[in-house]
Structure 1
């Protein structure tokens, strides 16, 4: 019999103190960064956890003190009537209804080492997968077993299940997303996928929450081996908030595999406020700007290394959209980002 060890919890309330919120907050239109180059990163004092075993049982890397019921939010310049990504993708009804080729770029380039686990993934998941690349790398395969992987914006869970295979039954693959419809599809197949991989227990978990609220999802500081994201972070109004939390939760020498759509020049406010363009992943930051944000949010005592795994020009395949974006060229890039200790003798220990 396969046991389901999944815990899904959105609203928190586990910690007796909300002081963890001081780690990340928003004032005016800017995002206050987490402890960075000239600050120390540590678990706040005075936080006491309730002893609720249901919240942490069988969930490596999870801590109830990482969650707060006071979810911080970023202010946005979007029009009040704007269609949110959550609504857009909940209503889309499958990737065949996408209006451009951006969120389906490179779907035919499945790496050979992923083809075996991919063949076991149900068609319903594949039909509801939106991505511009494959946030994986052969360099990670040697030390993948028993790792903790977190997928930001996991959708219907395809990449979570691919990682669930790569990390083995002793590892864990966690997905975070805001779409109820997408998560319902992902969770429907947890036990089936465990059985398909020959596991006695499910090693996947799905959390309904915003990526911007990553710091409050209960994941321990310095506990994650790999963060991954596939064509999602360009949708965020405050990517720097995600980066701050992600790099704090990532282990020393941990890796981020980021696949996303990047314009070759900054996009206009007109593009950012166009529902179709924004939700089709065409209103995000350039790679140069994204890289600068990542470097700025790196915790004190660490630096980032970057390796481009793939970069392909995107064919939008929609004349009306091409007219709207005019002379902007978009690229699907997959980047390997490693968090390296500046002094290897003083690497952080998990909180």
Structure 2
């Protein structure tokens, strides 16, 4: 393994010698922490790895069928699974015990397929040991789920082909990687055009001091490896994800007195992002006079569909959208659930994200999709 700078931005650090850590040592540390030291989520010292709100009823119902040992060794910080993914090919980065893969297995149905990748033998053994039982529980003729050993920084070496996945998910794992930029680049590679990276992770409101990044407990607890959220967005842009969208954001409490003292003023958040692989996306929101209407057909979203934390589409209500949002709704797996009207042949300037009503073609007043912010990207 090479030595890789664990940097909180895409820029080179002037103190590179102090901000580096051996990739192999980081991987071994994480493998030991999650494979041997932790026996259940109760062993964690903070809620960083398990911070999340109440899952949707669809997720809760699916979890009832997941074997209990799988749930006991779950360390995620969110629920990175969009609904309406039937028939899709899904890849879970750092799948751990396999809980999210098992849930996804039910959501994609027999025509879909789920692959989990992890580097920890103990977790892989557990995940693989319940596949046959779970397949029978769901009533499938054959398994639609598999787990492979490998590193999320090197998906190619694990046999994950380019342009092979409709959806990539991840649950509180990227912060544990010593090469976060490469992880995002690999996700972009394996996604099909129009595919999506939908994931939850831990982020910080500032760049974490270099002396804390090698602290084993802080790293294992998903804290000292967390990226400054703005630096993460820069990584996304460089990889090709032009318009990262935030789905949800919640604060993380660090109650352990010793760890709290070490972290000082650092504030941490569990954030769920969605990134689309679309060459047509622009770095700012532009107005082409397009509007979108949600059909109301995604399970769990009968009355409305929240694309992100500031775009809520009301069922059967035409809503003005920027060019990027129009592309996300018409050029991805979401397309069958939306009617998008208008093209990019006429440009009207930057898109007004203020939420004002304007006249739409043959519809009278058309409401702008609920949004906030200026004329930068919607994230």
**TM-score, normalised via structure 1 length:** 0.72
1:219-230 alignment runs, 5 A limit: 219-230=160-171
SS of alignment partner, residue 219 of structure 1 = coil
CA contact (8 A) 1:79 1:273 kept: no
What displacement does 1:109 show?
Answer: 1.3
Aligned counterparts of 2:30 and 2:253: Cα–Cα separation in 1: 21
Q: Which moved more, 1:88-97 or 1:229-238?
A: 88-97
Pick one of 293, 296, 320 that aligns with 2:238.
296
- Aligned-pair Cα RMSD in Å: 2.3
What displacement does 1:176 show?
Answer: 0.4
What displacement does 1:329 show?
Answer: 0.6
SS of alignment partner, residue 102 of structure 1 = coil
Counterpart of 2:153 in structure 1 is: 212
Aligned counterparts of 2:73 and 2:280: Cα–Cα separation in 1: 41
Aligned counterparts of 2:150 and 2:242: Cα–Cα separation in 1: 27
CA offsets per residue over residues 273-303 of structure 1, 9 Å max, x none?
10010111002211211111121112xxxx5
Counterpart of 2:68 in structure 1 is: 123
Counterpart of 2:252 in structure 1 is: 314
What displacement does 1:112 show?
Answer: 1.6
Aligned counterparts of 1:86 and 1:27: Cα–Cα separation in 2: 18
Pick one of 276, 295, 301 that aligns with 1:338.
276
What displacement does 1:29 show?
Answer: 4.2
User: Larger C-alpha radius of gyration, 1 or 2?
Assistant: 2
SS of alignment partner, residue 136 of structure 1 = coil
CA contact (8 A) 1:155 1:186 kept: yes
What displacement does 1:105 show?
Answer: 0.6
What displacement does 1:237 show?
Answer: 0.7
Alignment of 1:257 with 2:198, yes or no, is: yes
Pick one of 98, 102, 112 that aligns with 1:157.
98
Pick one of 27, 33, 47 that aligns with 1:101.
47
Does 1 or 2 have the higher relative contact order (CA < 8 Å, sep 6+)?
1
Aligned counterparts of 1:127 and 1:325: Cα–Cα separation in 2: 28
CA contact (8 A) 2:200 2:271 kept: yes
What displacement does 1:210 show?
Answer: 1.0
Alignment of 1:113 with 2:51, yes or no, is: no
Aligned counterparts of 2:247 and 2:4: Cα–Cα separation in 1: 34
Structure (1 or 2) with the greater strand fraction: 2
Gapped regions of structure 2 (runs ≥ 5): 7-18, 282-326, 332-379
Residues 77/27 of structure 1: CA separation in 2 closer, same or farther (3 Å cut)? closer
1:31-180 alignment runs, 5 A limit: 76-78=20-22, 84-91=29-36, 92-106=38-52, 109-138=54-83, 141=84, 144-180=85-121
CA contact (8 A) 2:5 2:21 kept: no
For these two proteins, the number of residue pairs brought into alignment is 268
SS of alignment partner, residue 86 of structure 2 = coil
Aligned counterparts of 1:77 and 1:270: Cα–Cα separation in 2: 11
Residues 77/30 of structure 1: CA separation in 2 closer, same or farther (3 Å cut)? closer
SS of alignment partner, residue 206 of structure 2 = coil
SS of alignment partner, residue 166 of structure 2 = strand
Residues 112/305 of structure 1: CA separation in 2 closer, same or farther (3 Å cut)? farther
CA contact (8 A) 1:305 1:339 kept: no
Aligned counterparts of 2:177 and 2:167: Cα–Cα separation in 1: 20
Aligned counterparts of 1:165 and 1:80: Cα–Cα separation in 2: 35
What displacement does 1:196 show?
Answer: 1.2
SS of alignment partner, residue 292 of structure 1 = helix
What displacement does 1:307 show?
Answer: 2.0
Aligned counterparts of 1:230 and 1:168: Cα–Cα separation in 2: 21
Aligned counterparts of 2:220 and 2:4: Cα–Cα separation in 1: 21
